[in-house]
Amino acid sequence: MIRPLFLVLALLPALGIARAEATPAAPPGLRAAEASGGAFASIAEVAERLAADDPALVLLHVGHGRRGYERGHVPGAFFVEHDEAMVDRPGRTNGLVGSEAAAELFGRLGLRPGDDVVLVGDAGGVFPAPLRLALRRAGVRARLLDGHTRGWVAAGHPLSTDPPPVRTPTSWPVGVVRPVEATREEAAEAAALGRLVDSRSGRLFRGERSGHGTQRGGHIPGARNLPWQDFLLSVSDPRLKPGPDRERMAREAGLDPAAGGPLIVYDAIGTHAALAQAVLESLGFSPVRVLTGGYAGWAEAGLPVHGPSD
């Protein structure tokens, strides 16, 4: 495996992919907020804070279209279209929205410093994860609701079809407080250290299918396979598996939070990797970043892949 990784590292400059500069650490206030709250919020916490009319709690329902939201959402949640957190290039979604567009969205939502954002999704709860990354990049404390809308209903809480409360638009600064994405150069270096995670299914990892965005099946050389679906009870019941089960899965994939150094995760284009990023962060890995463009971007750039014939 060492030889292909050296080949990858050697090819990157030739393809115009420069070595990334060191990225700044998050400010102490953001680190403290993350340490106290993690990447996920429990249904019990959100229900209690809604009952107390906590002004710091902001609920965002993220979906592909408004149908699910209009059928019923967690009371007080604002709707955000999934595509507002991602960038569409040549027919596929493959990167977080830029800081300027994100700042415009956050201002339109009326977000303020000190807000505690909890994101909710339909079905498997995948769509909110990229928006969480965009919020974290801007320094906003943001978590995913464990179980999402289905978990909320299963816990006996009602949904609402009422419009959310009116919030006054704000002026949100443009900038990166905490980097959340990784370059291909950084991914190659992480692979050489055993710190690159492929969060796609085993079939896609092995190259039995080519997947979304590319005809080249396989995975980035040196990546470890840890499918995002395995972290959940099921796609139809998107609550997280118990912590010990998730920790065991990470260990069996050869990952150790005590090893240090950035952990980089990817999927086909980025949406599912953002969910895997949150789960890995909840297990104590830090920092965890998502590969911009995912496997599709890597493969379509002509970089080496490990396929079924290797």
Distance separating alpha carbons of residues 15 and 132, to the nearest angstrom = 31
Would you say residue 53 has pLDDT above 80?
Answer: yes
pLDDT at 19: 42
Q: Categorise residue 270: left if φ over 0, alpha if ψ from -120 to 50, beta otherwise.
A: left
Confidence of residue 61 (pLDDT cuts 50, 70, 90): very high
Whether the CB-CB separation of 50 and 56 falls below 8 Å is answered with no
CATH of domain 181-301: 3.40.250.10
Backbone angles phi, psi at 150, to 5 degrees: -65, -40
CA nearest neighbour of 49 among 145, 132, 131, 123: 145
Would you say residue 97 has pLDDT above 50?
Answer: yes
Residues listed for the chain? 310
Q: How many CA atoms lie within 13 A of 84 on its CB side?
A: 21
Helical residues (DSSP H) of 257-305, grouped into ranges: 271-282, 294-300
Domain ranges of the chain: 36-155, 181-301
Give ∠ CA 30-43-45 in degrees, rounded to 5.
Answer: 55
The model's pLDDT over 139-188, given as tens digits with 9 standing for 90+, comes to 999 999 999 999 999 999 999 999 999 999 999 999 889 999 999 999 99
Which residues, listed in sequence order, are joined to residue 89 by a DSSP beta bridge?
A: 92
Whether the CB-CB separation of 20 and 176 falls below 8 Å is answered with no
Mean per-residue pLDDT of the chain: 86
**Tokens 């150094």 sit on residue:** 261
The model's pLDDT over 101-124, given as tens digits with 9 standing for 90+, comes to 999 999 999 999 999 999 999 867
The model's pLDDT over 11-40, given as tens digits with 9 standing for 90+, comes to 554 444 444 333 334 333 333 334 334 899
Confidence of residue 215 (pLDDT cuts 50, 70, 90): confident
Could you give the percent of the chain with pLDDT greater than 90?
70
**Tokens found for residue 104:** 């415009």
Global pTM reads 0.86
Which class is 36-155 in CATH? alpha beta
| Long-range pairs, 37-40, Cβ under 8 A, ≥24 | 37/116, 37/141, 37/143, 38/143, 38/281, 38/282, 39/132, 39/143, 39/144, 39/278, 39/279, 39/281, 39/282, 40/143, 40/144, 40/145, 40/146, 40/240, 40/278, 40/282
